[in-house]
């Protein structure tokens, strides 16, 4: 082993160690930024060393790509709204998949006919997986982006024959991997693979409802990692394999956590579009009891313990800073304030945690569903801000409900429940919520930020 090869392998080991250490730091809000920086250093080292390893002669296009891509990334990072973060994550996953697809395509395109015929079959299997998974990730991510951004209907799109068409795609991909491996010099198999995989990614995602999009985002993130790992095998790059496996494994772990939070298997989520729609149970009837923000203030002023349950509505209203200000006032009034975070609250994994961290809410005051449910009766007031499906008692009370069996934050067992929403309409999953009609529930209608600011003013003038 020459000196350069030894240095390159040592740098790859250092990069892998930085990635793992960075992932560890990302596990806590206090160290998340440092973890992101450490991982970025690892990636920088990996890119530079890879360029040295491949002995790149012309860096013009690489420099142009870095400048243009870096400028676009910095601009989007500065301008993106927190409400648009889920769809941006979807785009990131999609671009990651497309990058892997292009690497696989370039690997084959850069080989002569003699090299193609002489190469080992394992190379073509790895390249096929790179192209296929990358294409599925790309097209599936853009459908997820469309559903999350409102560019298309968030409901599952089902049509007669969807099952047969999807099965046909799987059979076609199985045939194509054989043909692609046996006849790598026949270019049509490459292009057919790209077309079929892109189509399959679209079909696989449009059949999944918007309420399951947080799970889909996590799964597509895992796909992008697997595609990158396959690309690493195809081009014989160790660090790409390692980083791809890290992303793939972490995405799959997160997907599993979110499926457990919904009491559903991953297979159930992926095949939800093929399932028979559940029959709705008894119709929800009752009277919604409206309360003004001024009356809500008097209840909060007397409260000794308050639980805040944030949802996507808090992100839309950008109410996280008002929530933190109300928390400070309540604590000055000798009231204990805690937050309950459901794993699928919002529209991407960790959405609520990021919003509350932005408002400097102490991480120690954020609790998971299983931590707060056993002591729910002890809370004087539970404030639900824009959340709907994750607090819906239909999950426990109505066997005909589409979300029946899903673990939820049982706010209906608190002494008093304030629901801050613009209206009493159903949430993102389109499921009616009997919480709105409970005897201990009061609806405080309007923009959540305005409502909270009104309560804050009442505290300040009291």
Catalytic center residues: 389
397 vs 399: CA distance, rounded Å: 7
- Which residues touch 155 (CB under 8 Å, ≥6 apart)? 209, 210, 430
Contact (Cβ atoms closer than 8 angstroms) between residue 388 and residue 426: yes
Specify the residue for token string 């006919």.
Answer: 113
Sign of CA dihedral 312, 317, 320, 323: negative
Helix (H) or strand (E) run with residue 129 in it = helix 121-149
Identify the CA nearest to 12 among candidates 45, 55, 37: 45
Contact (Cβ atoms closer than 8 angstroms) between residue 428 and residue 388: yes
Residue by residue, DSSP assigns 182-229 as H-TT-HHHHHHHHHHHHHHHHHHHHTS-GGGHHHHHHHHHHHHHHHHH
240 vs 261: CA distance, rounded Å: 32
Rg of the chain over CA atoms, in angstroms?
25
What's the gap between Cα 191 and its chain centre?
30
Contact (Cβ atoms closer than 8 angstroms) between residue 157 and residue 223: no
87 vs 93: CA distance, rounded Å: 10
Structure token digits, residue 184: 């790598």
Cβ neighbours of 431 (radius 10 Å): 21
Q: Is 336 helix (H, G, I), strand (E, B) or coil?
A: strand
- Which residues touch 65 (CB under 8 Å, ≥6 apart)? none
Contact (Cβ atoms closer than 8 angstroms) between residue 411 and residue 367: no
189 vs 181: CA distance, rounded Å: 9
Structure token digits, residue 310: 């944030």
225 vs 248: CA distance, rounded Å: 4
């Amino acid at each position: 082993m020459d000196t350069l090869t030894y240095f390159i392998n040592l740098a790859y080991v250092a990069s892998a160690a930085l990635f793992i250490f960075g992932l560890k730091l990302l596990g806590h809000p206090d160290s998340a930024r440092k973890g992101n920086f450490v991982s970025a250093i690892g990636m920088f080292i990996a890119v530079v060393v890879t360029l040295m390893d491949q002995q790149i002669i012309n860096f013009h296009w690489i420099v142009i790509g870095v400048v243009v891509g870096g400028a676009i990334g910095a601009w989007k990072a500065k301008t993106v709204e927190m409400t648009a973060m889920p769809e941006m994550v979807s785009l990131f996953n999609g671009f990651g998949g497309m990058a892997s697809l292009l690497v696989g395509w370039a690997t084959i395109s850069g080989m002569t006919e003699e090299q193609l015929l002489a190469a080992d079959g394992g190379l073509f299997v790895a390249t096929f997986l790179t192209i296929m998974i990358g294409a599925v990730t790309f097209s599936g991510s853009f459908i997820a982006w469309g559903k999350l951004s409102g560019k298309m209907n968030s409901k599952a799109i089902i049509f007669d024959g969807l099952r047969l068409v999807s099965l046909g795609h799987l059979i076609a991909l199985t045939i194509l991997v054989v043909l692609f491996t046996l006849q790598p010099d026949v270019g049509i198999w490459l292009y057919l693979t790209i077309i079929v995989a892109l189509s399959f990614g679209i079909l696989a995602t449009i059949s999944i409802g918007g309420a399951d999009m947080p799970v889909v985002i996590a799964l597509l993130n895992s796909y992008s990692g697997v595609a990158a790992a396959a690309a690493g095998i195809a081009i014989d790059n160790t660090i790409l394999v390692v980083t791809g496996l890290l992303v793939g494994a972490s995405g799959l772990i997160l997907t599993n956590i979110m499926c457990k939070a919904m009491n559903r298997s991953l297979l159930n989520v992926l095949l939800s579009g093929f399932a028979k729609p559940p029959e709705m149970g008894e119709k929800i009837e009752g009277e919604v009891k409206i309360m003004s923000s001024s009356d809500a203030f008097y209840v909060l002023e007397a409260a000794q313990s308050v639980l805040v349950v944030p949802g996507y509505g808090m992100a839309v209203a950008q109410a996280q800073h008002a929530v933190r200000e109300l928390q400070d006032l309540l604590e000055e009034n000798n009231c204990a304030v805690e937050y309950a975070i459901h794993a699928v609250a919002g529209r991407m994994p960790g959405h609520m945690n990021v919003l509350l961290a932005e408002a400097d809410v102490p991480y120690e005051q954020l609790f998971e569903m299983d931590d707060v449910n056993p002591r729910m009766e002890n809370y004087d007031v539970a404030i639900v801000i824009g959340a709907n499906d994750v607090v819906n008692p239909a999950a426990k009370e109505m066997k005909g409900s589409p979300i029946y069996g899903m673990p939820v934050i049982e706010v209906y067992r608190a002494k008093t429940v304030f629901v801050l929403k613009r209206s009493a309409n159903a949430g993102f999953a389109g499921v009616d919520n009997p919480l709105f009609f409970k005897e201990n529930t009061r609806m405080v209608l309007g923009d959540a930020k305005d409502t909270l600011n009104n309560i804050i003013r009442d505290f300040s003038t009291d």
